[in-house]
Amino acid sequence: MNRHKIPAIWDIDTRALVLHIRKHGALRGIVSTDGTAADQLIFEAKQLPLMAGQELASHVSCNRAYEWQKGSIELASSPWAEQMGESAASTENSERFKVVAYDYGIKQNILRLLVDHHCDVTVVPANTSAEDVISLKPDGVFLSNGPGDPEPVTYAHESIRKLAGRVPIFGICLGHQLCGLALGGKTFKLKFGHHGSNHPVKNLLTSQIEITAQNHGFCVDPESLPSSDVEVTHLNLNDHTNEGMRHKNLPLFSVQYHPEASPGPHDSHYLFTQFTDMMKEFAHPGSSRS
């Protein structure tokens, strides 16, 4: 740990720390190894910015657009081909979809899975305008995960509003929260946030339970969404918060958790197929995927 400069703490009552956080919520903290007095460290910790109100997506996004072509592993057929009921030949001949992926802090495994699901992906910076995206003539738009508070990412709210109805949209995590705001809803900061790979989520459309990976501190308030236009599709079984939604009339859906989680769980990979099905239906109304 010294060699790799990894900090660690020891000789504290970890149970007391956990109970303190459970009572007061996620807190700012500081670790010091130089003997600085506790009062000074407390003062320095209080100077750290709160997560609420921070617009971080533009700080972690790419600077320019780029193409992504790498799938999960280098095989002639997708590693999910068997799961999706496809042969190598059908994978090669499958309809391809041009997807523009907004980078708010995107994870590479999202890009790999999009490629696995027959998508040609162009990744664009977080502040790319809706007009510039439409000029690329995509079959679909993906809204990525990312850090920070979704509320001050106003440029994304505007772009999503302009894109909604013109092209199929799929959002994950921060992308889900941005969809909620763009559709007229509100977000709030969770007391603890959801972190880890064992969160049970109920798909309200199928009544199936998915074990999911999550990493977020904000949530879309389902009561704030216009019920005439938006339907909640997924529910967190730990605290009953909103984990997914879809527009009733437009080709748009999103989830709060991470269906692309690597190495797993993989319960929610079907959402990528749902996205390609939506793009196919939008391009060819009345068609169905065999």
Contact between 102 and 124 under an 8 Å Cβ cutoff? The reply is yes
Q: Give the C-alpha separation, 77 to 88, whole Å.
A: 5
- Measure CA of the first residue to CA of the last residue in the chain; give whole Å: 53
Tell whether omega for the bond before 265 is within 30 degrees of 0, i.e. cis.
yes
Report which residue type is found at 128.
Answer: T
Residue of 86, 151, 260, 269 with catalytic role: 260
Residue 247 main-chain phi, psi, to 5 deg = -80, 140
Q: Which residue in the list 157, 176, 258, 269 is annotated as catalytic?
A: 258
Catalytic residue among 173, 199, 210, 234: 173
| Measured distance CA(134)–CA(140) in Å, rounded | 10
Cα separation, 146 vs 66, in Å, equals 18
Listed residue (170, 190, 181, 179) closest to 273, CA to CA? 170
Neighbours of 231 (CB within 10 A): 16
* Helix 174-182 / helix 154-163 crossing angle, nearest 10 deg: 70
Establish whether 258 is a catalytic residue. yes
Token duo for residue 164: 């909604």
Residue 173 designated active-site: yes
Helix (H) or strand (E) holding 68: strand 66-68
Q: Known catalytic residue: 118?
A: no
Report, as residue numbers or ranges, the catalytic residues: 173, 258, 260
